[in-house]
Amino acid sequence: MKLIAGNSNRPLSEEIGKRLATALSAADIRTFKDSEVFVEIRENVRGEDVFVIQSTSTPANDNLMELLIIMDALTRASASRITAVIPYFGYARQDRKAGPRTPISAKLVANLITTAGADRVLTVDLHAGQIQGFFDIPTDNLYAVKVFERRIREIHGGELDDVTIISPDVGGVVRARSLAKRLDDRPLAIVDKRREQAGVSEVMNIIGDVKGRHCLLFDDIVDSGGTLVNAAEALMGKGAKSVSAFVTHGVLSGNAVERIAKADALARLVISDSIKAREEVAACAKIEIVTIADLLAEAIRRIANEESVSSLFD
């Protein structure tokens, strides 16, 4: 087994390597002055089972091209199997035609990854589960819910009687329910919101009883932070005791960190390290980062040993 890390999230790749007791393979991955990506694998990979670890986060296009070119280099170097380990799958929010004459970019990216030489894909908390069907190769979608369950129990000291799990929209109910079940069947509430345009949301109503409850918002992506802040304010307005958010992918674009830091209604935001944290994210006292290295390392080990990946969540 070989592990090759792209440049998008080197710290996470190194943590995965430590847990597998496997050093990252030597590779020269850089850009020319005109921004073209150059890759050279500096050790023999002929006949090897290779895992390429690369999130397609900001800058999304550069990191995507890096992933594609690494896999092309491995294919031409006769690797026996190439698994694209994509902790954060960019373009996942473009999973359907949102209007006339618009693309389905998630499908295009899936085609590119397959054409570049991937034999398998491993990712975490896809924005839409049906994206697995965009690939014509085996695709494992891992869930970070176990990581967040552990952190929630630490925060609340096992006292969960006054905890309610909140879905930030109707589409996230299945995800929120999975956490609620793991937390001893905690009650569930839903934020009913209307999105007038991409990146802008307005909270309309809270479906469920949240008065006097510690509310835990659970979602897959936080981008601008507007939805989380609006939802937290609406929940506190309905009498919630506190509001915390647990989100897998901390995109946190623009002034999202500042918005979250200033949000009195939001007690904390816990994100995973699927995306490498910028300096301002790591420095924000209200944002906590938990690692998914254990989850990914165990999945990689099972794939390499031809063991069940789905049993990770039994």
- CA–CA gap between residue 179 and residue 199 (Å, rounded): 25
Q: Any known ligand binding at 273?
A: no
- CA–CA gap between residue 100 and residue 102 (Å, rounded): 6
Q: Any known ligand binding at 223?
A: yes
Nearest to 203 by CA among 176, 178, 237: 237
Q: Which of 107, 146, 181, 193 is catalytic?
A: 193
Q: Any known ligand binding at 169?
A: yes
Q: Any known ligand binding at 226?
A: yes
Q: Please, which contacts does 146-152 make with residues 24 or more away whose CB atoms are closer than 8 Å?
A: 146/182, 146/295, 146/313, 147/272, 147/290, 147/291, 147/292, 147/294, 147/295, 148/179, 148/218, 148/246, 148/270, 148/290, 149/179, 149/182, 149/183, 151/246, 151/270, 151/288, 151/290, 152/183, 152/216, 152/246
Q: Any known ligand binding at 72?
A: no
193 is catalytic: yes
Q: Any known ligand binding at 167?
A: no
Q: Any known ligand binding at 314?
A: no
Q: Any known ligand binding at 195?
A: yes
Question: 238 near 204, Cβ under 8 Å?
Answer: no
Helices 10-19 and 293-304, interaxial angle, to 10°? 60
Q: Any known ligand binding at 80?
A: no
Q: Any known ligand binding at 219?
A: yes
Q: Any known ligand binding at 310?
A: no
β-strand 120-124 against 139-142: which pairing, if any?
Answer: parallel
Cα 110 from chain centroid?
16
Q: Any known ligand binding at 95?
A: no
Question: Which residue ranges are tagged as binding site for D-ribose 5-phosphate?
Answer: 195, 219, 223-227
Question: Which residue ranges are tagged as binding site for ATP?
Answer: 34-36, 93-94
Question: Which residue ranges are tagged as binding site for Mg(2+)?
Answer: 127, 169
- The residues that are catalytic are 193
Question: Which residue ranges are tagged as binding site?
Answer: 34-36, 93-94, 127, 169, 195, 219, 223-227
